[in-house]
Structure 1
Amino acid sequence: MTPSLSPVICFDLGGSFIKMGVMSDKNVLTLLDQQPIPAQDWRAFCVRVSAMIARHAAEFAADSPVAISTAGIVSPLTGEMFASNIPAFHQRRLAAELGEVLQRKVIVHNDADCFALAEAEAGAGKGHKVVLGAILGSGVGGGLVSDGRLVMGQNGLTGEWGHGPITLTEVDIDGARVPIPRLACPCGQRGCLDTYGGARGMENLHRTLHGESLSSKAIVTGWQQQQARAQQTIQAWLQLVSEPLAYTINITGASCVAVGGGLASVTPLIAALNDAVQRCILRRTPYALVVPGAFAHQGGMTGAALLARRALAPAVRGL
């Protein structure tokens, strides 16, 4: 086994859980463990990660690197994390500081970026020149891959189509124009797509339109069952989401949009979104442009492991 193809220890860090896996020397990812994340306490977080690695030490080498996919933004200049929903490592240099604790090489990337790379390399975007990974989970996020390489922009931000004051102020529902208020976003701006576009956003939208609190699952189920209120909410949702996504496609030139997150599992919804996007872009494609990603559950860890391999052996191609 060459050093560049040694097993990679993979973690996916979210606001609720730490998921751990290992990518073998043959690029096969195996999920090993899942534990609650000590999201408030750096010391407890380090103890938890160390214990998980020790528990599964037989699965990898003593010098195997650690690849982390996480919510939040990683500064490309300093490695400092912006992860307001995980205070344990918010504003810490996670890779460097955790590496000192573990005595291993640690590489950290944003989870949407990791998902995008996994889809471009081995998923729905394989063979495409430009791939946009579009996250429709609890919120809206994204990552961009061009010619097989992750595009890293200013302050670690690229493909973040869910933020900025971009939402419509009215939508068409059954032929009537309905006003849509621009909501305050946790990012500090007002009118971000994130406030209406993800699962929590869909719930906000339904509440705004109907004064009724329903889960996104119940809304989507109602839409599929042709319930009137749910159908109106999805009509509005498709308009709100398709326009900024089409705009992003026009700017990036993406020939594939691989969708990840919980809403990606609803195939009819993603098909409807593709139809709505195709009506907005400058040139329709003869194939489905917006499609469910192939790595709905382990895309973050897969992409992180691929990035770790590249960082440790940049001359190796085809990983």
Structure 2
Amino acid sequence: MLICFDIGGTSIKAARATAPQALTPLGRKPTPRDDFAAFVAVLEGFLGETPAPVAISVTGVIDPRSGLATVANIACIDGRNLAGDLQAALGRPVIVANDADCFALAEAHAGAGRGHEVVFGAILGTGVGGGIVAGGRLFRGAGGLAGEWGHGSITATRLSVPPYDLPQFECGCGQRGCVDTVGGARGLEKLHRHIHGAELESTAIISAWTGGDAAAGETLSVYLELVAQPMALAVNIVGPDIIPVGGGLGNSTELVAALDGEVRRRILRKLDRPLVVPAQLTVDAGLIGAASLGFSEGLA
């Protein structure tokens, strides 16, 4: 048995797990952002008397060698050896991975990637992220950054669809032309604003596109070309059997299907089945991913 936590900047969710798919919810509490003792106390409140080990999905990046966490929106754990510090404070084994990796694990163990050898979980949410699972285990990579296809100066500036020429937008990571600048919800909105001079939320753009709106259709044609090219490159490098797509944009089955078609015609491997598919675990993916992490790493 494990006690699993899904830790975000706003709240901490907890569950008891006897398998990755067998969770008993324990509740949710606000995340203490500036007080580590208060942060630990919230976790202890969920543990009770059980001696079970702890598996955590957390926003941010975890370096697998040093164990150091980079968590910009939770100051009290930023820069800590999070697993080590929590293990000492809680008196039990603790394992930690970031939320994108846990999303990929959840889909590999209990979602769209179940039964597949290599799963590349792609997140198209506010921004762009991802994680890689091979043989049921998380591939962490140097620095804990494997699967982060959202960054790097890779987006095209010359397109096959109008407006044909496009600048590489500045990214929060300090580079220009990252997939993160165009591939997430804010990126889609940025593209629509750049092409049409109109302010629309991503959900409205998707809705207009599926309804046949010409302007939204132009925006989506640009979006699909910009995102499909780097995703196809990631497929050729990683060789996934399946790519579950999570995040807000992943909720549009039409968008995911269109992206699948654009990716498959650009990759070396020829498939007669979908490769890019909607994620199946839209609720409690963080907790399921944390449980999957703990069980796949032999913590329980």
| Same topology, TM > 0.5 | yes
Structure 2, unaligned stretches of length 5 or more? Answer: none
Q: Which residue of 2 aligns with 1:99?
A: 87
What is the root-mean-square deviation of aligned Cα atoms in Å? 2.0
d(CA) in 1 for partners of 2:182 and 2:19? 41
Q: Which residue of 1 aligns with 2:44?
A: 50
d(CA) in 2 for partners of 1:74 and 1:87? 14
Structure 1 residue 216: Cα displacement: 1.2
Q: Which residue of 1 aligns with 2:116?
A: 128
| Deviations 1:2-35 (CA, angstroms, capped at 9, x unpaired) | xxxx2x2111122333222221368412333233
Q: Secondary structure at the match of 2:170?
A: coil
1:183 partnered with 2:169:
yes
1:13 partnered with 2:13:
no
8 A contact 2:154–2:230 mirrored in 1? yes
Choose which of 69, 73, 76 in structure 2 pairs with 1:85. 73
Q: Secondary structure at the match of 1:18?
A: strand
1:113 partnered with 2:107:
no
Paired AA for residue 23 in structure 1: A
Q: Which residue of 1 aligns with 2:234?
A: 248
Choose which of 3, 12, 17 in structure 2 pairs with 1:23. 17
d(CA) in 2 for partners of 1:261 and 1:244? 18
Pairing 1:142-221 to 2, within 5 Å after superposition? 142-173=130-161, 176-221=162-207
Structure 1 residue 247: Cα displacement: 0.6
Q: Secondary structure at the match of 1:165?
A: coil
d(CA) in 2 for partners of 1:31 and 1:117? 19
8 A contact 2:53–2:299 mirrored in 1? no
Choose which of 62, 68, 76 in structure 1 pairs with 2:64. 76
Q: Give the alignment's TM-score, normalised by structure 1.
A: 0.87
Q: Secondary structure at the match of 1:231?
A: helix
Change (3 A) 1:119 1:50: same
d(CA) in 1 for partners of 2:288 and 2:228? 28
| Deviations 1:158-183 (CA, angstroms, capped at 9, x unpaired) | 1111111111113343xx34322212
Paired AA for residue 266 in structure 1: S
| Deviations 1:128-176 (CA, angstroms, capped at 9, x unpaired) | 2211111111111111122222212111111111111111113343xx3
1:32 partnered with 2:30:
no
Q: Which residue of 1 aligns with 2:50?
A: 62
| Deviations 1:76-126 (CA, angstroms, capped at 9, x unpaired) | 111101122332311111112223333332211011111212222222112
d(CA) in 1 for partners of 2:34 and 2:126? 20
Change (3 A) 1:196 1:172: same
Structure 1 runs of 4+ aligned residues shifted over 4 Å read: none
8 A contact 1:264–1:296 mirrored in 2? no
Q: Secondary structure at the match of 1:49?
A: helix
Q: Which residue of 2 aligns with 1:3?
A: none
Structure 1, unaligned stretches of length 5 or more? Answer: 1-5, 315-319
8 A contact 2:183–2:223 mirrored in 1? yes
Q: Which residue of 2 aligns with 1:230?
A: 216
8 A contact 1:184–1:190 mirrored in 2? yes
Bigger relative contact order, structure 1 or 2 (CA pairs below 8 A, ≥6 apart)? 2
Structure 1 residue 296: Cα displacement: 2.2
Structure 1 residue 280: Cα displacement: 0.8
8 A contact 2:63–2:144 mirrored in 1? yes
Provide the identity percentage: 47
Structure 1 residue 281: Cα displacement: 0.8
1:294 partnered with 2:280:
yes
Change (3 A) 1:88 1:226: farther
8 A contact 2:118–2:242 mirrored in 1? yes
d(CA) in 1 for partners of 2:42 and 2:90? 11
| Deviations 1:47-86 (CA, angstroms, capped at 9, x unpaired) | 43334x16xx3xxx52112211112111111110112233
Structure 1 residue 246: Cα displacement: 0.6
